[in-house]
Amino acid sequence: MPTAVRSKSFIALALLPALLLFVVFVIIPIFWSAYYGVFEWKGIGASRFIGLDNYREILQDHIFWRALKNNLILVVSAIIGQIPIALLLALVLLKNSFFSRFIRSAVFMPMVLSTVVVGLIWGYIYHPQFGLLNTMLEAIGLDSWTHAWLSEPNINILAITIPINWSNIGPYMLIFIAALQNISPEIHDAANIDGARGGRKLFNVTLPMIWSTVVVTMVLCISGSLKAFDHVMVMTHGGPAQSTELLATYMYNNTFRVYRYGYGSAVSTIIMIISALLIGINYLLTRRKAE
Amino acid sequence: MELRTTQATGANLDSHNRKLVKKGLSGLGKLVLIGYAIFTLYPLYWLFISAFKTNEDFFNRPYALPLVWMRENIFRAWELGKMGKAMFNSTFVTISSVILTLILGILAGYVLSRFQFRFKRVAVSLFMAGLLIPIHSTLVPLFLMMKEMNLLNTYGALILPYTAFELPIAIFLAMGYMASIPREIEEAAMIDGSGWWGVFGRVIFPLCTPIVATISILAFLRFWNDFSFALVFINSQALKTLPLSLALFSDGFGTDYSLTMGAMAIAVIPTIVVYLILQDQIMKGMVAGSIKG
């Protein structure tokens, strides 16, 4: 066996590169953005210490609240859209038949596309003049239902939730299939003997068995929805009139369009805090439910 | 006696009906599933047919197959969008980052799963916290840091943060997998006189093939499709990756829809091919990667 000294040097040499890269590019920036957040700085020239003014300004900026509201709409639409649909698909496609394998592949397919491509395709689908959605509505005589999907405030953020959900259901479905396959057949037998069927079996047996997975998917939905950026950047840039602004696009536009680095950093820090809060709240809520 | 028969037939009828209902339901269910599959595949199909249309054809007959199959769209998109360069950049950045992620991630995963040392718990919880950190909250400071380090507009501006952000999931998967490798294997190799590096390189790493595949695929999809890092850290035309040049493409050629569709068709083909070939492994990888993430 090697001497302690030799394994110590192995530990250090094998772990340090990963640790260093991770700390420099992931951990330090978090603290650095909190630090930059207390300055007013245009990216060049001198920065001026202004204490918590940036944070105060953010909290009074109605665009920030609009962005937060839009992000929360995405969170809710992910939790009530992606999770139930994915769970339903998983329950039906659990069997390993050719048919269910085919459907699974189809459902997962959008996931491998770049978010930019998803955004662009759906941007065209929503196009007011020649978009697939409006021409389809006109073809079936529902002319009054047509909209300028991405430019009408209040409709547009809902329109944006569709492509996001469309491309994210696949992975959640796979997670649920894996969890369902882990339930031992004896539990199904026991439930059948007790006469549990359909909905009752789902809510009293299956769901509690995979509850921890449901919680994990909720956390993934929350953190995923707070990360949303690409689709909106490609489809609307956050407009028109900032009606589709999200926290991340708000951060981006403030930093890289109007060059307020300090302000953008403060927004970054707030995104961090909000994620932590939401994940914490979800943890508390779902834990109580499980007990 | 008679009563009993009636009851029996009643029960039979009942179960017969139930079977019929079940069959009908599963037929209906299948239809719904096929409908859902069409909902997920149709936009892609539409992308491919539109890529071969003239603009008028695209406006006037959005659902129909192209009147004339315009293969020129694809060539023009390739030329005008400088997509060869973008394809090279995406490939180079993605492959380098995947290799770096694999080496660093599996080594770190090995150390963290096998050895006891003082800061182990700190290191593990640091990496695991990384699974939940929203990347956009680090964009501004990363941009400023890289400006200081003169990294902006280099391949490193993408390779280093890609790897750093993928390490938590890679380490997590690697640690999980190492737990299934029996320790006796290492002891045997030690007795043969290998040092730890030898044990890792000759014994452990080769045993990790399944998890290497999983980590690579997850990382590949993430790096190949990334938009936000490329958008912020890359300005130079020569270094643009595919998603970035596509987004700009649609701004620059905004009115030439079939050209933009052509460019998108080119860009999605590699991932779709990879997906179709590696489907099973991707699905396994997704499950392994996210179930505990």
Residues A74-125 pLDDT 10s: 999 999 999 999 999 999 888 888 888 899 999 999 988 999 999 999 999 9
pLDDT, position B290:
56
What is the span of the domain harbouring residue B129? 72-288
Tokens 């992000």 -> residue: A71
Q: Least CB-CB distance to B138: which of A33, A229, A279?
A: A33
Whether residue B7 is contained in a domain is answered as yes
Stretch (H or E) spanning B162: helix B156-178
- Nearest chain B residue (CA) to A15: B108
The answer to whether B171 contacts chain A (CB < 8 Å) is yes
Residues B258, B137 share a domain = yes
How buried is A37 (Cβ within 10 angstroms: 0-12 exposed, 13-18 middle, 19+ buried)? Answer: buried
- Pick the more confident residue, B165 or A42: B165
Q: Tell me the per-residue pLDDT of B36-84, one tens digit each, with 9 for 90 and over.
A: 999 999 999 999 998 898 888 888 888 888 887 888 888 888 888 788 8
- Between CA A206 and CA A179 the distance in angstroms is 10
Element (H, E) at A40: strand A39-40
Average pLDDT over every residue of A11-32: 93
CB of A10 within 8 Å of a chain B CB? The answer is yes
> Cβ contacts (< 8 Å) between A256 and chain B: which residues?
143, 232
Say what the ipTM of the complex is: 0.86
Report yes or no on B254 lying in a domain.
yes
Do the chains contact at B136 and A6, CB–CB below 8 Å?
A: no
Q: Kindly report the length of chain A.
A: 291
B143 and B91 co-located in one domain: yes
Q: What is the pLDDT of residue A249?
A: 94
CA-only gyration radius of chain B, Å = 27
Residues B188 and B250 occupy one common structural domain: yes
- Whether residues B155 and B276 share a domain: the answer is yes
Nearest to B190 among A2, A33, A107 (CB): A2
Direct distance between the N- and C-terminal alpha carbons of chain B, in angstroms, rounded to an integer? 64
Please state the pTM of the whole predicted model. 0.87
Determine the Cα–Cα distance for residues A37 and A47; give it in Å rounded to an integer: 11
Question: Residues near A81 by Cβ (< 8 Å), separated by ≥ 6?
Answer: A161, A165, A169
Asked if residue B65 is part of any domain, the answer here is no
Chain A residues close to B278, C-beta within 8 Å: none
Choose the closest CB to B130 out of A2, A26, A269.
Answer: A26
- B195 in a structural domain: yes
Q: How many CB atoms lie within 10 A of CB A17?
A: 16
Same domain, B19 and B108: no
Judge whether A98 is closer than 8 Å to chain B, CB to CB.
no
In the block, tokens 């990294």 appear at: B151
| Residue in B with minimal Cα distance to A90 | B33
Q: How many residues does chain B have?
A: 293
Contact A92, B33 (CB under 8 A): yes
- Tell me how far apart the alpha carbons of residues A279 and A269 are, in angstroms, rounded to a whole number: 16
What is the mean predicted confidence (pLDDT) over A193-213?
Answer: 81
Task: Say if residue A240 is preceded by a cis peptide, omega within 30 of 0.
Answer: yes
Judged by a CB distance cut-off of 8 A, whether residue A47 touches chain B is no
Q: Where is pLDDT greater, at B12 or A264? A: A264
pLDDT at position A69 is 95
Two tokens, residue A277 = 């809060």
Is residue A47 pLDDT above 70, yes or no?
A: yes
B1 has a pLDDT exceeding 50: no
Shared-domain flag, residues B81 and B135: yes
B93 and B212 fall within a common domain: yes
Residues B191 and B279 placed together within one structural domain of the fold: yes
DSSP per-residue codes, B64-95 = SPPSS--THHHHHHHHHTTHHHHHHHHHHHHH
Amino acid letter, A38? V
How far apart are the C-alpha atoms of B187 and B182, rounded to whole Å? 10
Tally Cβ neighbours within 10 Å of residue A243. Answer: 19
